[in-house]
């Protein structure tokens, strides 16, 4: 009976420990819509690094977008050295998986909604994107410019 009791207590404790501290994978929409529920909890957040990595002392700000919103990630600068691409025009940024504590209104950062990351993993490296240009648009533009120049000469000569 005592052995059964010990096994039961151990199982309950293990479930509580594992279940209670399990890090949840969340989206930016979840974080914004249910901010109070996730406040000060450890979460996993995945998205594309966008814009700039802004170094502030030994830490850096990295903004990570999952397509719906971008969330600021406060992280040790050493941990972001491997990030090669940040998302901008013609560049798809590295896709990263951030593990850290989420703050609804971070006291350290003037009430910002942010994640203090303890770990960051690059899931997929970013890449450059080539531009597509339309030949028809180019032809149309050249014709339009020629017409406009002719009209402008007419206006200039007639002093309209």
Give the C-alpha separation, 116 to 131, whole Å: 36
Q: Which residues contact 102 (CB under 8 A, 6 or more apart)?
A: 26, 31, 38, 39, 40, 41, 42, 43, 45, 114, 115
Give the C-alpha separation, 120 to 118, whole Å: 7
Q: Binding to other proteins (CB under 8 A): which residues in 100-139?
A: 104-107, 109-114, 131-134, 137-138
Piece of the chain touching other proteins by CB under 8 A; list 2-10, 15-23, 59-67, 117-125: 59-67
Give strand pairing partners of 106: 112
Q: For the window 4-23, what string marks contact with other proteins as x by the rule CB under 8 A? A: --------------------
> Which residue ranges make up the site for other proteins (CB under 8 A)?
32-33, 35-36, 50-56, 60-61, 63, 65, 69-70, 72, 74, 87-91, 104-107, 109-114, 131-134, 137-138, 140-141, 144-145, 147-148, 151-152, 154-155, 158, 160
């Amino acid at each position: 009976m005592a052995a059964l009791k010990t096994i039961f207590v151990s199982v309950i404790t293990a479930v509580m420990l594992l279940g209670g501290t399990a890090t949840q994978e969340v989206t930016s929409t979840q974080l914004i819509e249910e901010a109070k529920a996730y406040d000060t909890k450890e979460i996993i957040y995945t998205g594309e690094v966008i814009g700039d990595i802004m170094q502030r002392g030994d830490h850096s700000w990295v903004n990570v977008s999952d397509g719906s919103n971008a969330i600021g990630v406060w992280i040790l600068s050493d941990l972001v050295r491997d990030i090669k691409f940040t998302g901008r025009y013609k560049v798809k940024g590295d896709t990263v998986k951030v593990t850290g504590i989420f703050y609804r209104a971070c006291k350290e950062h003037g009430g910002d909604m942010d994640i203090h990351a303890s770990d960051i993993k690059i899931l997929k490296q970013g890449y450059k994107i080539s531009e597509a240009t339309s030949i028809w648009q180019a032809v149309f533009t050249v014709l339009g410019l020629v017409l406009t120049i002719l009209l402008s000469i007419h206006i200039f000569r007639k002093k309209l």
